[in-house]
Structure 1
């Protein structure tokens, strides 16, 4: 389907404490805070507010634990130790991080490298803020791209070690980390008998159960030019979604708009797609695929999603045209 309009996403996880929103005396408890350097919102359906806030705090602690493992800004994280030892020696890591790396490489393989953890070397080249006054030189970009390549990562399953064989190589979990954190927080909450909830990890969302009144959690697509008028709703039933591409984070040079997402094969920002929304069971996979499709482009991205099971996508190009995959179920506003 195609709709020629510029669109953004409006996350619908409405929570009210009035009597019309209560079912069997349970309440919706919501907290917004900054985690992993980004805005998070966690909503749980709990027997009372005290249990709700305690449960949310446990989820927050889990997310912070994951951040300490994957952050490339924390010099003591496992990821930073891997980066610091690039071209020097392998680094022994936790089984959790090792497994995340294995899954990440598998995603790199099915996306032909459009998703690639070693893209992180480009973070030193492109700065999407007021400090970015001109394009980096082609030579600087070429040198950075020469250090990129998921296939270069050496994993030793017997020793649980990770080795980046070239000096200057870096791992970055920015395109999968928040999705992974959302999944793990959800698993923790379910283990604590929180049977319904909604986590929005800066656009990587996961939902389970129902709202406190028994209705489905919904993700709404809105037209920013229409004062948040909802174009369509997508129900999230025991599932997740990830939003790649921000309207407020881009560069404009010589009248051309450049996304903050970088193609690891070329080292340059993508320009053809404004936003990608991937729907599936795992927030981790949705997170990675949303980035990959942004890089692959509309046709190749749709082809990829249509080959995968239980995964759907909405793609919005730079002309404001919305295209969705074959199996996506949407609701009228």
Structure 2
């Protein structure tokens, strides 16, 4: 697995040396601006990468009632639900991180996070009573994966999952894989602060000073790695 670096409460941006800029395209995906930079790519390469990211978004978008994740959330608290191998593997990886972090990362957060609003709409801050009522529904240990039958089941009624904490990084991985399959040797994808690079080039990523917008706090060099911000 490639090294992944997490930086909190900072803004990332690309630092170009000697005025050099590469071909790039931007689209709005996964509720953020996604930029793809390809030093030697063509229009078809950009299209293929964005198409793959849209595919992942469609698969895992909790706000889309037709997505596979929405189907899981509707049915998995009633009986084991057969899911695609792709969703199964992503869920398995998410649960691994839940165990590693002792639940600090928990994809079963949906019943609680939903109290703060839906996509693009912020509700009023929920009352303590509402939070207390939903807390018992948030526990990754109550998500049961059956590898033999490729099913998922929730042990408590009302549980729901949200892959938002892992889907963006997974989409970057998928897009990079597609680019490599097309013969692209160097690429950078920036999805709202989640950045993944591939190739032998040293990409320079600047971290903006949190209190001085015109200053760079530090420059990080990435080679075939990923970095992400939070905050």
- Give the TM-score taking structure 1 as reference length: 0.62
1:120 to 2:110 alignment:
yes
Which residue, out of 177, 196, 199, partners 1:209?
Answer: 199
**Cα shift readout 1:136-178 (whole Å, capped 9, x = no counterpart):** 2222101111101111001111111111232211110111110
Q: How does 1:245-324 map to 2 (within 5 A)?
A: 245=231
Q: Which of 141, 145, 149 is the matching residue for 2:131? A: 141
Unpaired segments of 5 or more residues in structure 1? 1-6, 22-26, 246-333
Who is 2:5 aligned against?
none
Aligned mates of 1:161, 1:15 — CA distance in 2: 49
Unaligned stretches of 5+ residues in structure 2? 1-8
Judge conservation of contact 2:116–2:122 (CA < 8 Å) in 1: no
Contact 1:92–1:162 (CA<8 Å) still a contact in 2? Answer: yes
Q: Which residue of 2 aligns with 1:8?
A: 10
Contact in 2 for aligned 1:40/1:202 (Cα 8 Å)? yes
Aligned equivalent of 2:29: 35
TM norm structure 2: 0.88
3-state SS of the aligned residue for 1:172?
A: coil
Query: Aligned-pair distance for 1:240?
Result: 0.2
Distance 2:173 2:15 in 1: 17
What is the deviation of 1:124?
Answer: 2.0
How far off its partner does 1:201 sit?
1.3
Q: Which has the larger radius of gyration?
A: 1
Instruction: Output the CA distance in 1 between the equivalents of 2:72 and 2:121.
Output: 30
State the distance in 1 between where 2:61 and 2:135 align: 22
47, 56, 61: which one pairs with 1:57? 47
CA shift, 1:54, in A, is 0.9
Q: Given the alignment, which residue of 24, 31, 38 partners 1:44?
A: 38
Deviation at 1:209, TM superposition (A): 2.1
Q: Which residue of 2 aligns with 1:258?
A: none
Which of 159, 167, 172 is residue 169 of structure 1 equivalent to? 159
Deviation at residue 92 of structure 1 after TM alignment: 0.9
1:232 — aligned with what? 218
CA offsets, 1:21-55, max 9 Å, x none?
Answer: 4xxxxx83201110122111111121xxxx52210
Q: CA deviation at 1:218?
A: 1.3
After TM superposition, list the pairs within 5 Å mapping 1:146-165 onto structure 2: 146-165=136-155
Measure the CA separation in 2 of the matches of 1:142 and 1:163. 23
The count of aligned residue pairs is 223
Whole-angstrom distance in 2 between the partners of 1:230 and 1:82: 43
Aligned in 2, Cα 1:224/1:13: closer, same or farther, shift over 3 Å?
A: same
Deviation, 1:87, is 2.2
State the partner residue of 2:94.
104
The corresponding residue for 2:174 is 184
